[in-house]
Structure 1
């Protein structure tokens, strides 16, 4: 594995982010978690020793402060994972423009802000990794879900453009398409449909695999889905 030592997970919650925090901690990385409500992270923060930061990723001043605080703590990340997303659904003509705007801000614009702040710090060292969490909507625009498709398509485009520009400069940019639902305490696997939801720990292992890739064979995108999922 590359010599990554410090990871930042933005948009942290109790699902995939918790799995990523555990995997990264086990790999010996110092982990920082950023969320709009970091108090909700207390349960798994205790288990991983991760530091928490308050940050709305769609606000430039808060993203700037987050990275400045990490710099001051000697925890400038060389791995950044962007997890936040937001969606509003409904018939196209009934969509609230403000909710659509919020969807794009959180899902895509925030990703740009966080990635730009990270890249500014990674370029001088010619090393680092930025991973974006995509969804089925990254490649398929579903009916009555235009805003989410807009945000996730934009996120995928951002990742692809960054990969083409920055991978030759030593920064590994990856986009993980999570094609399916993720199981959780609130969303258990249905008894009648075993294996129908993705295990967040298994997804986290895929992120780790991407970080471990030799630079002679870097991926910019990986799809993960349950083996029973149609696509």
Structure 2
């Protein structure tokens, strides 16, 4: 945790979609703490809806849509953020799951998942770290999944992408931790009670018993606590799961 300078504190969240999702919950959480939140995702309309929601509750938010796999687009967004304030927290929550049996998994599909989930993490992380090194440090947080630790069919592409992102987070942490940037990886080990799961598997929502799924706002609390950690006791990785999730 740092107080960078007298400019507004900014938290940049990449991977923001529906209001009932983790990216939006992270934006709301950091806005509640007085941050200007810069929200990045692929769909402008969805991002602007979350920005309006945050502003209606008294927070400050910016809609900065873009493709995390594009170096030029991320550089433009980083420059816009620098105009808004001092980047103190950045969360890479982007990525896309894709299912296919291995013999049916084409190179294009595999590469698409890797680009969004791993290459995007590299590009986003570099822009975030550049801003933090120019200030007094900050927090760079990556969203992982059960697939970060083990692969299983039919999610080989997703698992490969998430395992690589985990390794990337460790590399960022070892290089930039000594320079004041707290890098952490959060393994989300279970289903999130958000729009994606509600649409794809409503029966799982019903069977969860109310607290058998991860709640986006409660996950966001854990990210906030990571950002708050004193540098004498930083976590590089934590895992989150419902009480009844097997592991």
TM-score, L = length of structure 2: 0.88
**Distance in structure 2 (CA, Å) of the matches to 1:185 and 1:143:** 24
**Distance in structure 2 (CA, Å) of the matches to 1:176 and 1:26:** 21
| Matched residue count | 230
Alignment-derived partner of residue 98 in structure 2: 88
Q: Can you list the C-alpha shifts for 1:168-217, whole angstroms capped at 9, x where unaligned?
A: 11000010000011002562663433122100011000000101111110
Q: Which runs of 5+ in 1 are unaligned?
A: none
Alignment-derived partner of residue 207 in structure 2: 192
Alignment map for 1:168-187 (pairs within 5 Å): 168-185=178-195, 187=198
**Distance in structure 1 (CA, Å) of the matches to 2:207 and 2:158:** 29
Alignment-derived partner of residue 2 in structure 2: 2
Q: Can you list the C-alpha shifts for 1:25-76, whole angstroms capped at 9, x where unaligned?
A: 11111101011112112332112131101210011111111112222x3334
Please tell me whether the aligned partners of residues 67 and 76 of structure 1 are also in contact (alpha carbons under 8 angstroms): no
Please tell me whether the aligned partners of residues 14 and 94 of structure 2 are also in contact (alpha carbons under 8 angstroms): yes
Q: Which runs of 5+ in 2 are unaligned?
A: 56-60
Alignment map for 1:100-119 (pairs within 5 Å): 100-119=110-129
Please tell me whether the aligned partners of residues 3 and 136 of structure 2 are also in contact (alpha carbons under 8 angstroms): no
**Distance in structure 1 (CA, Å) of the matches to 2:99 and 2:205:** 24
Distance of aligned partners of 1:74 and 1:185 in 2 relative to their CA distance in 1, 3 Å threshold: closer
Please tell me whether the aligned partners of residues 193 and 205 of structure 2 are also in contact (alpha carbons under 8 angstroms): no
**Distance in structure 2 (CA, Å) of the matches to 1:183 and 1:44:** 17
TM-score, L = length of structure 1: 0.94
